[in-house]
Structure 1
Amino acid sequence: MTGLPRPSLTYRMEDGLRLGALLWRFGPGWRMISSAMLGGGVGRREWVLNAQVAAGYSRMDPVEHMDALGPGGPGVGMMTAAVVERYAAAEDGGAEAVATVGLGVPTWAAAPEGVPDPGLPAAPESARETAPESGAESARETVGAGDAGVLETGGRAPRPGTINILVAVPVAFSDPALVNAVMTVTEAKTQALLEAGFPCTGTASDAVCVAVREDGPAEAFGGPRSVWGARIARAVHRAVLDGARDWRTRREHSPLL
């Protein structure tokens, strides 16, 4: 298997809520770079978990929590307050991307110190009508509804991310190219959010994971104008754009999102 496996979706009861989790079982032969607390950094990984947690998540043991939800062995565990069933997926030239998008508390990365992140204002009508389309192929699962959002807890406990992105490519990358690919993912995410009419660069606790093969010649570049970086950018852009539009549509029907 050299591409993104189909995820399994499971549910659990936690804090009185029915919460979902997506699990991708890659198996051996993969190397990943991730910002996730569980399995973050660079190394061999065999699975990726994207688990929904309650809004205002305040547990002080997120690594142990995610590890307990995973299948065991080396893997990556991300958490989010977004409804994971409503993930958006896209593919471009062999680069595959999946995004779970929740925008309850959007942020500008370079916000003034001490100023709390505001609630999301309504997207302007002009932005809704003029956001450009992408040529990447895409498909989205639309099971379930709603979004828990993310609230600032004011404590030192980590907050769950609301835009989690998983990317897989069927080739090997050098370490510098992997770092560059994370930059490309982030740039494409921000482009998609702005084009969808959301005034933000993301949320304060987004997470990313890029999976590449261990075998074969290693790609030296992962920037948006490299062969694979460009494909990653287009796939991520489409997935986040679709996910952001879906979140906005649901928010219009449920003001509590």
Structure 2
Amino acid sequence: MTASVPPLRPPISLLPVQQLTRLEDGERLHSLLWQAGNGWRMISSAVLGGGIGVRSWVLNAQVSHGYQRTDPHRHLAELAREAGAHGPGVGLMTAADVRAYGHAHDGGAEAVATAGLGVRGWAASPRQGAALAPTPGTINIVVALPVPLTDAALVNAVATATEAKVQALLDAGFDCSGTPTDAVCVAARIPDSDEELHAFAGPRSLWGARVARAVHHAVGAAARL
């Protein structure tokens, strides 16, 4: 008798997202919430919880196309509290329907992306820049890594994720580098006292390569939805 081989179990997700729905000014809007919990350091360009620090959740909230609030950080904090998220976290927003998200993993790195591509273009533009309040539209990328990174490697991971985003857009047939309001968040584990920190996250480093592939797949999936 031949022993049966049990099927491979799917990997436990580092980045499980919860889909939420709310009614706001008569419009049904959606959000993605990752309740990361304790043990994470995050780097983000988000309007809420941006910079580098200990964070325990990430909210990616859909807002209306005519969004006019001038306090998006307060709005996101309110939405997070209503969703049951407590403590410091990261808040992203977009006019895209976040239910159409891409989710990919590679070698332990995991990425979730939403892609609002209504207003897109190239980063280097002849237009003069202006200090305006964030507007919805937006490609939002969240990455989770099961290992600790140095501050420099966290910055490097943001650059790697951004490069992979542009590659994914071009591969999906979009003639652009992104939107004017793209945001990114990279989460890495807080190290134990004797745990070595990874110092590199460029696209040819071990974890940077995994970040690049995960983001490429997630953004590509979201852009095609």
Measured after TM superposition, the shift of residue 110 of structure 1 is 0.6
Contact 2:60-2:98 at 8 Å conserved across structures:
yes
Percent identity over the alignment?
62
Q: Could you say what the CA RMSD is over the residues aligned between the two structures, in angstroms?
A: 1.7
Q: Which residue in 1 is equivalent to 2:156?
A: 180
Contact 1:97-1:166 at 8 Å conserved across structures:
yes
SS in structure 2 of the partner of residue 6 of structure 1 = coil
Measured after TM superposition, the shift of residue 102 of structure 1 is 1.5
Q: Which amino acid aligns with 2:118?
A: G
- Superposed, which structure 2 residues align to 1:209-220 within 5 Å? 209-215=185-191, 216-220=195-199
The one-character-per-residue Cα deviations of 1:12-55 (angstroms, maximum 9, x if unpaired) are 11132100011101111000000001100000000000000011
Measured after TM superposition, the shift of residue 63 of structure 1 is 0.6
Cα distance in structure 1, aligned partners of 2:48 and 2:131: 21
- Superposed, which structure 2 residues align to 1:138-217 within 5 Å? 156-215=132-191, 216-217=195-196
Contact 1:3-1:170 at 8 Å conserved across structures:
no
SS in structure 1 of the partner of residue 99 of structure 2 = helix
For the pair 1:237 / 2:223, whether they are aligned, the reply is no
Contact 2:169-2:176 at 8 Å conserved across structures:
yes
Q: Which residue in 1 is equivalent to 2:7?
A: none
Q: Which residue in 2 is equivalent to 1:19?
A: 29
Measured after TM superposition, the shift of residue 161 of structure 1 is 4.4
The 10-residue stretch of structure 1 (13-22 or 94-103) with the greater mean CA deviation from structure 2: 13-22
Cα distance in structure 2, aligned partners of 1:98 and 1:162: 14
Give the gaps of 5 or more residues in structure 2: 1-11
TM-score norm. by structure 2 comes to 0.88
Give the gaps of 5 or more residues in structure 1: 116-153, 247-257
Cα separation, partners in 2 of 1:183 and 1:155, compared to 1, 3 Å: closer
Q: Which amino acid aligns with 2:212?
A: A
The one-character-per-residue Cα deviations of 1:203-244 (angstroms, maximum 9, x if unpaired) are 000110000000231100010000000000000001111111
Q: Which amino acid aligns with 1:182?
A: V
- Superposed, which structure 2 residues align to 1:109-124 within 5 Å? 109-114=123-128
Cα distance in structure 1, aligned partners of 2:44 and 2:25: 27
Q: Which residue in 1 is equivalent to 2:9?
A: none
For the pair 1:35 / 2:45, whether they are aligned, the reply is yes
Residue 52 of structure 1, aligned match among 43, 59, 62: 62
Q: Which amino acid aligns with 2:36?
A: F
